[in-house]
Amino acid sequence: MMNFKIFQKLCGKSTLRNAVIVTNMWGQVDLQVGEAREDELMREDTFFKPVFDQGARIARNQNTVTSAQNIIRLVLNNRPLTLCIQRELVNEHMDIYATSASKELHREINAQVKKHQEEMRVVKEMRMLREETHVLKEETHVLREEVRLLKEEMRAMRVENDETRRKHEETRMELQKMQQEAETR
């Protein structure tokens, strides 16, 4: 819609009554669908409603000579009016960069730049998150390996501990036996 906003600034509100919005591709859509779309274009502020509010008209290009002639007749019957850009450049001797159309263009460009910068910020964040995720995966792998080694070490220590207990029990039993033999002598 940037181009259309610039069109509005080039024309100025007072001359929009001479504008004709021409719709086409009528042979490629169902009539009801086309009419619904046309109605939406006329009703929605995000489309052409602001221009229709200033008196612009709508015409259908049926891809025929007759429909083309009807569109031309709509324009030919207009009373010539001075466009805003003409008034600003010729009557008011404005520099092209100071005109309403140029200001709108710069506003739109700045909005696009801000949008692009935000998108780039998001992309950088995503890249950093991917890198952090990669690092975390590597750290997770290292930690899992450490856990596996610790579990193996714990198993070995349990086996060793069980063996030590068994030997301790055997030694205790031998001592008890020796003590009983010593008492019986």
Cα 46–47–53 angle (5° rounding)?
A: 100
Q: What is the DSSP letter of 99?
A: S
The SS3 assignment for 48 reads coil
The SS3 assignment for 18 reads helix
Is 85 in the same domain as 151? no
pLDDT of residue 1: 63
pLDDT of residue 73: 94
pLDDT of residue 3: 84
Is 25 in the same domain as 51? yes
* Per-position pLDDT tens, the chain of length 185: 678 889 999 999 999 999 999 999 998 999 999 999 999 999 988 889 999 999 999 999 999 999 999 999 999 989 999 999 999 999 999 999 999 999 999 999 999 999 999 999 999 999 999 999 999 999 999 999 999 999 999 999 999 999 999 999 999 999 998 888 888 87
pLDDT of residue 182: 83
Is 29 in the same domain as 67? yes
Q: Which domain holds residue 67?
A: 2-94
Question: How many structural domains is the chain composed of?
Answer: 2
